[in-house]
Amino acid sequence: MKPTQWSYPGGVINQIPGECTISGDVRLTPFYNVNDVTKKLQEYIDDINDNIQKLETRGPVSKYVLSDENLRGSLTLTFDEVSSGVACDLNSRGFHVLCKATEEVVGNVKPFSVAGSLPLIRELQDEGFDVQACGYGLMETYHAKNEYCLFTDMSQGYRVLASIVAQLEDSE
């Protein structure tokens, strides 16, 4: 869970605002169910709200409950769009065909993992499809400010695809 943005209503420099909004995201590895995690996060928030008077403070004038003013601090958690991560099946036929094709065309295979989410791929996997994700370009240019690719890398990718099709046709 990573807080990335804070906002609060203005005020004077020596006044603690009565509220603030913290926004961020949660990056999950694909082995966790996003619904289970959101449920668990809500349980934590509910527990804090139920026991807010037990939280540590910075002295007798730093409190989360002001009984005389009938004020009680609280946390609210909201979720925008959620999506699950993706993990390719390293034991699947598709993975082995892809590795063989890459070895033939590129000369070596170096599987690796990056964190992220691709909702369509996850949905296809959930429907039983053997989905693999690969790239044959320059990793340092992916999502860069001036993202680009080389025609030689695109050509290499097409040759890998042709090898995959040939392997799958041969095994039919």
Q: CB-based contacts of 149: which residues, under 8 Å, 6+ apart?
A: 137, 138, 141
How far is it, in rounded angstroms, from Cα 45 to Cα 151? 51
pTM above 0.85, yes or no: no
φ, ψ for residue 27, nearest 5 deg: -105, 115
- Which domains, ranges and CATH numbers included, belong to the chain? 2-72 (no CATH), 93-170 (1.10.150)
Per-residue pLDDT of the chain (172 residues; tens, 9 = 90+): 889 999 999 889 988 888 999 999 888 888 888 899 999 999 999 999 999 999 999 888 888 998 899 999 999 999 988 888 788 899 999 999 999 999 999 999 998 887 666 778 888 988 999 998 888 888 888 888 889 999 999 999 999 999 999 999 988 7
Give the per-residue pLDDT at 152.
Answer: 94
Token representation of residue 134: 């690969």
Among 122, 129, 98, residue whose Cα is nearest residue 111: 98
How far is it, in rounded angstroms, from Cα 44 to Cα 37? 11
Are 5 and 25 in contact, with CB atoms under 8 Å apart?
Answer: no
